[in-house]
């Protein structure tokens, strides 16, 4: 899983700050 699955409401900044090892799964939707 990676941060490419962020929901639309999440800000672009949050997405850019998210790394593969530092990804808040609570903000990620499972494929």
**Nearest-angstrom CA–CA distance, 18 and 15:** 5
Asked if 20 and 3 count as a contact pair (C-beta separation under 8 A), the reply is: yes
**Nearest-angstrom CA–CA distance, 6 and 21:** 15
Q: How many domains does the chain have?
A: 1
What's the pLDDT at 15? Answer: 55
What's the pLDDT at 1? Answer: 43
**Nearest-angstrom CA–CA distance, 31 and 13:** 22
Instruction: Please indicate, yes or no, whether the overall pTM of this predicted structure exceeds 0.85.
Output: no
Which tens digit of pLDDT belongs to each residue from 1-31?
445 555 555 555 555 555 544 556 555 555 5
Domain that holds residue 16: 1-31
């Amino acid at each position: 899983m990676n941060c490419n699955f962020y929901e639309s409401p999440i800000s672009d900044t949050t997405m850019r700050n998210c790394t593969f090892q530092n990804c808040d799964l609570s903000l990620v939707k499972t494929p």
